Copies of this chain bind each other. A is one copy, B any other.
């Protein structure tokens, strides 16, 4: 058995938890912040048998890979909003950092 600790962005976490749940993976969310990923993030604990680790990682990759997104920038404070035409900028979102840990014992009560 393995325990996967996956640090993902908040915005990707619900979609990932749903996908993992459909794949019969049980997860627990830990509130986390900063560090591996710049924006608000969530750490998921996913316990699974050795033969399902690849499948879990694939679901994480499919739902959380970093990708570019076009976003409308915030108008500058105090600027003239009428004359300001915001130009969408490309930002990178998503991304996942995953640690696969060995598990010596697993118990449910």
Chain A interface residues (CB < 8 Å from chain B): 2-3, 5, 7, 17, 26-37, 41, 43-45, 47, 53, 57, 60-61, 64-66, 94-109
Bound complex: CA of A47 vs CA of B43, how far in Å? 14
> Are A28 and B34 in contact (CB-based, < 8 A)?
yes
> Are A100 and B106 in contact (CB-based, < 8 A)?
yes
Q: In the complex, given contacts A29-B33, A53-B105, what are 17 additional A-B residue pairs having Cβ atoms less than 8 angstroms apart?
A: A3-B101, A17-B35, A26-B97, A28-B32, A30-B30, A31-B33, A35-B45, A45-B99, A47-B99, A61-B107, A65-B109, A94-B109, A96-B108, A96-B109, A98-B109, A101-B101, A101-B103
Residue of B nearest to A108 (CB): B97
Copies held by the complex = 3
